[in-house]
């Protein structure tokens, strides 16, 4: 019985330690440009030694690109594509013959949003992303967000 309890504690502690690995911190903010125009800023702060993949990847990439999805809102229109602001790194591994577009330290994803009518509403959605370091890649994660447009 003591062995079972000990084994259970070891498994729980290992799983807890793995669950705490979170090398990316996300912030979601809105900048008002005019009565009906806003910029959504999705900022990723990346721990040293880790990187986050760009939305666009080369054909030979095995990385999962960052994907921002928006929930439907009849009061809003999304203008153009999401822009990436940050220092894009073009990684290539000659041994494996793979490439990736990635960011280290930080990146800001910016989406222009327009209201169809002057009203208070929310913009919500999710970000699906994958992070890696020189030793391993973590499974893709999804974070949700909701920001007020006033």
pLDDT tens readout for residues 65-104: 999 999 999 999 999 999 999 999 999 888 878 889 999 9
Rounded CA-CA distance 139/129 in Å is 9
Q: What is the mean pLDDT of residues 102-114?
A: 97
- Residue, of 25 and 8, whose pLDDT is higher: 25
Q: What band does 33 get if pLDDT is binned at 50, 70 and 90?
A: very high
pLDDT tens readout for residues 116-145: 998 899 999 999 999 999 899 999 999 999
Report helix, strand or coil for 102.
strand
**What tokens does 96 get?**
């494996």
Torsion-angle region of residue 86: left (phi > 0), alpha (psi -120 to 50) or beta?
left
Question: What is the set of domains in the chain, with CATH numbers?
Answer: 23-149 (2.60.40.1250)
């Amino acid at each position: 019985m003591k062995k079972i309890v000990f084994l259970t504690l070891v498994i729980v502690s290992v799983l807890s330690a793995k669950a705490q690995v979170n090398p990316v911190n996300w912030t979601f903010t809105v900048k008002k440009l005019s009565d009906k125009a806003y910029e959504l800023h999705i900022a990723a702060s990346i721990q040293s030694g880790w990187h986050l993949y760009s939305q666009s990847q080369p054909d030979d990439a095995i990385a999962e690109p960052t994907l921002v999805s928006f929930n439907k809102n009849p009061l809003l229109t999304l203008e153009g594509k999401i822009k990436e602001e940050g220092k894009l790194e073009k990684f290539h591994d000659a041994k494996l013959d793979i490439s990736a577009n990635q960011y280290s330290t930080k990146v800001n994803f910016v989406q222009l949003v327009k209201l169809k009518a002057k009203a208070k509403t929310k913009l919500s959605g999710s970000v699906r992303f994958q992070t890696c370091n020189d030793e391993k890649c973590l499974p893709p994660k999804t974070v949700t967000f909701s920001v007020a447009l006033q």
